[in-house]
Structure 1
Amino acid sequence: MQEIPTATDIRAYETVALFGRLLETAVNRVLHQRFDIAWEEYAVLSALHRSPHQFLHMTEVATALGFSRSRVTRAITRQELQGRVTRSACPRDARATHAAVTAQGTALLDRISDTYEAAVRGSLTRLSIGAEQVEGLVKQLEPLSGLRARSKSAINCARRRRSGAPNSSG
């Protein structure tokens, strides 16, 4: 039987959701003004760049960022048109598609990183969130979100890519 959410549960959800939207909106504004890139496009590039082999399955990008698959597809398509991302068939699963960051995408991330970090810091400061509070939030929320989980399928696909093994649907 499903528990009925308490007023505190609802308040917690609404507070966390509002906090996330305020940060995303502020950072998005800066990225658009200075680099003509949306925050979600930056997030996709960053997720691909941080992955062990600089590529992920499209579904893994969606999971890592908490985006819908269609949102990831739109962001990847825009980045692909700019030459920042490439797509390729997964050698292990014919149904899956890899997205990989290109040298051009990595160069953009390098140019953006200081501005992105300053925008995040500035947004937290404007919201009166101190370093200790941020650390506390990360310690509490990160384990719940699973954002740092390593991608096993990307690692397996990387092994297959390096070995030149034939395509497999397993």
Structure 2
Amino acid sequence: MKEDPGTADVRACEILARFSRLLETSVNRTLRREFGISWDELAVLSLLHASPYRFLHITDVAASLAFSRSRASRSVSRQELLGRLTRSRCPRDARATHVTLTDGGAALVHRSSGTYEAAVLGGLARLRVGPEQLTDLTDRLAPLTERHGRPETRGTCASPRQPGHTPVAGSPLS
């Protein structure tokens, strides 16, 4: 008996979600143990670190990481309390909120990068994902996720946040 196409689709989604959760749990365990940070939180810090002036609108953070605005806001709030980033009103749009990476947050991104990479590779190894499988997964999934691309800063705030603040070295505007 052939499986119903709808059932096959649901099963495929469940398998992808389970794979994602298994990898995320493995990486989170390492990041929390070594740095007291989750993968979601590191993703926010890394995104801000890669932005030209180390800040973005919180809505751009959410969209870039495929987070709900509430999930992004919770992550930002936790990290703001720890001094890893700051939140302020956008001077050009009173409805918008800027999220800015602090020097402490940038230092954490640098300190954790090797551990993060090792945690991802270790998680993939535990899941027995080989190089060919990873390439195949990437080739198949990347076009699907890129349809929901990462927005760039919309240009309304493409200037430094404070006098003397310069772009991060290696960024497109440095």
Secondary structure of 1:157's aligned partner: coil
Structure 2 counterparts to residues 10-89 of structure 1, below 5 A: 10-89=10-89
Question: Given that residues 31 and 37 in structure 2 are in contact (C-alpha distance below 8 angstroms), is that contact kept between their aligned partners in structure 1?
Answer: yes
Are residues 149 and 70 of structure 1, via their aligned partners in 2, closer, same or farther at CA, if it must alter by over 3 Å? closer
Q: Secondary structure at the match of 1:52?
A: coil
Q: Distance in 2 between matches of 1:47 and 1:13?
A: 27
> With structure 2 as the length reference, what TM-score do the two structures score?
0.82
Matches within 5 A, 1:1-170: 6-146=6-146, 149-153=150-154, 155-159=155-159
| Deviations, residues 64-86 of structure 1 (Å, cap 9, x unaligned) | 21222122111111111111101
The CA distance in 1 between the partners of 2:161 and 2:84, in whole Å, is 21
Gap runs ≥5 in structure 1: 163-170
Distance 1:27 1:74 in 2: 20
Q: Quote the Cα distance in structure 2 between the aligned partners of 1:143 and 1:92.
A: 34
CA deviation after TM superposition for structure 1 residue 44, in Å: 1.0
1:143: how far off?
Answer: 2.3
CA contact (8 A) 1:91 1:161 kept: no
Larger helix fraction of residues: 1
Secondary structure of 2:93 counterpart: coil
Amino acid corresponding to residue 25 of structure 2 in structure 1: T
Between the aligned residues of both structures, percent identity stands at 54
Give, in whole Å, the separation in 2 of the partners of 1:144 and 1:119. 25
Contact 1:44 1:61 in 2 (8 A): yes
RMSD between aligned alpha carbons? 2.2
What displacement does 1:160 show? 8.1
Q: CA–CA distance in 1 between the matches of 2:161 and 2:37?
A: 31
Distance in structure 2 (CA, Å) of the matches to 1:58 and 1:5: 38
Distance 1:100 1:5 in 2: 46
Question: Partners in 1 of 2:160 and 2:109 — Cα distance?
Answer: 27
Q: Structure 2 counterpart of 1:97, which letter?
A: T
Q: Secondary structure at the match of 1:149?
A: coil
- Provide Cα deviations, 1:3-40, integer angstroms capped at 9, x if missing partner: x9622211211111111111111111111111111222
Name the CA shift for 1:49/1:148 in 2 (closer, same or farther; >3 Å).
Answer: farther
**Contact 1:60 / 1:151 at 8 angstroms: preserved in 2?**
yes
- Distance in 1 (CA, whole Å) between partners of 2:84 and 2:153 is 24
